[in-house]
Amino acid sequence: MPDAPRSGDAASRATPQPATFDAHAGTSTGGAVAGTGVRLALAYVALFFLAGVQLPYWPVWLASTGVSAVQVGVLLGVGTWARLVAPVLGSWADRSARARALLLAAGVGVLACYLAFDATLGFATLLALSLALGLAGAPITPLLDGIAVHAAAAGRIDYGRVRLWGSAAFIAAAVFGGRMLEGRAPAIVLTTLQASAAVLLVALLFVHAPPPSPSPAPTPWRAVLRQPGLLRLLGAVACLHGSHAVLYGFGTAHWREVGLDDTTIGALWGVGVLAEVVLFALGGPVVRRCGAGGLLVIAGAGATVRWTATAVLQSVAPLLAISVLHAASFAAMHLGAISWIRDHVPRDRVHRSVALYGAVSSGIALGVSMPLAGVLYERIGAHAWFAMAALATVGLLLAWRVHVGPTRRATA
């Protein structure tokens, strides 16, 4: 990522000019620093509370409309393909002062889409709205991450410790969602998502973007993609995050089929993300000890074990134990990728690189693997988890290449 000293992680290894980022027109007081972290933390809380309801329970609502498992996979996949617009928007955000306006427009779009789902009339309408929702939500996470990366580069925040508030909100939402759904019609899921989207829009009003890059002309995309090691990173995260498709699309359905109630299922999601919170809380020391590539290797190994075990486990205690590996399969992957970008990508390419990471890992990867997960789950049930384990193993091998491959740190 950018080339400035950082708080908490491998900051001492880079010495270029620090990035300037402030919520209050460039002041550097402790209050401004704290304000930056609080604003970003609140935005992450709102965003991931919504995600904590959407990820485990949105497939339940979709299935309640009468569509098949294959169609659920398609509906989930088309939304992730929409995230491919994120790099284009990230490029624009890198060189303009309109990142905040884009965040607000995206928040309005997400709320409008969830409200429109009340009028769904069939699969075609669901497909169109899922695409629109994906397009509206595509810029939010990469823009927030890009703003946070700039703030971390300037020493104003510890990225992991700010991001963990989002994970904590996800836990609360997952547990709340399980209890909310217990004994109730799936329609409650849509109502909760509509309210959560409204809260997200309010939270985004308080986020302040960094000033635009001082570069007179944007760096060509070809130069961004030629950043040493970036393509290896993207290949690794595509496989690692893509291997979560059965979990994201059919984890709740699978656990219902093996006899677990919705409250217990919410606890399974919550325990996994609690482990993620712990890793983010320890982010700086863990990154210093393992390195970005080392974290990606841990993610690959953890995901391979996790999906293999999930395929065969049905009892609550073992499933709770294996859910802890979410700290490896997702959190280590995300922290490793963000840390790699922080350490190796020049400042004027940060938003595009973060957006590219999101587009590949959550757009292309899940856009391919989610429909495939629907086909696999409908045809072979729990054995679909083994396919995810195989994909994670490929990600592990690519992560090892990132870990040992030659790279060059950011110098501009």
- Residue 97, judged by CB atoms within 10 A of its CB (0-12, 13-18, 19+), counts as exposed
- pLDDT at position 378 is 92
Angstrom distance (rounded) from CA 272 to CA 282: 16
CB atoms within 10 A of CB 119: 8
The answer as to whether 281 is a domain residue is: yes
The answer as to whether 274 is a domain residue is: yes
CB 144 within 8 A of CB 167: no
- Residue 31, judged by CB atoms within 10 A of its CB (0-12, 13-18, 19+), counts as exposed
- pLDDT at position 147 is 81
- pLDDT at position 303 is 97
The answer as to whether 4 is a domain residue is: no
Of 239, 247, 260, give the one whose Cα is nearest residue 309. Answer: 247
The answer as to whether 80 is a domain residue is: yes
The first and second tokens of residue 211, run together, are: 């000033």
Looking from the CA of 234 toward its CB, the CA atoms found within 13 Å total: 18
- What is the reported pTM? 0.74
The answer as to whether 412 is a domain residue is: no
Enclosing domain of residue 383: 10-404
**Kind and range of the H or E element at 288?**
helix 283-312
The answer as to whether 290 is a domain residue is: yes
Into how many domains does the chain fold? 1
* pLDDT of the chain, 412 residues: tens digit per residue: 333 323 333 333 333 333 333 333 333 444 555 687 888 999 999 999 999 999 889 999 999 999 998 999 999 888 888 777 766 766 666 666 677 788 899 999 999 999 999 987 789 999 999 999 988 988 888 788 878 877 777 777 787 788 888 888 988 898 888 888 887 888 999 999 999 999 999 999 988 776 655 555 566 667 677 777 788 999 999 999 999 999 999 999 999 999 999 889 999 998 988 898 888 888 778 888 889 899 999 999 999 999 999 999 999 999 999 999 999 999 999 999 988 888 888 777 776 787 788 888 888 898 899 999 999 999 999 999 999 999 999 999 999 998 887 555 544 4
- pLDDT at position 28 is 41
The answer as to whether 409 is a domain residue is: no
**Kind and range of the H or E element at 217?**
none
- pLDDT at position 92 is 67
For residues 386-399, b (16+ Cβ closer than 10 Å) or e, as one string? bbbbebbbbbbebb
The answer as to whether 5 is a domain residue is: no
Packing angle, helices 350-358 and 230-242, rounded to 10: 30
Residue 49: give its domain's CATH number. Answer: 1.20.1250.20
**Phi, psi dihedrals of residue 280, rounded to the nearest 5°:** -65, -35
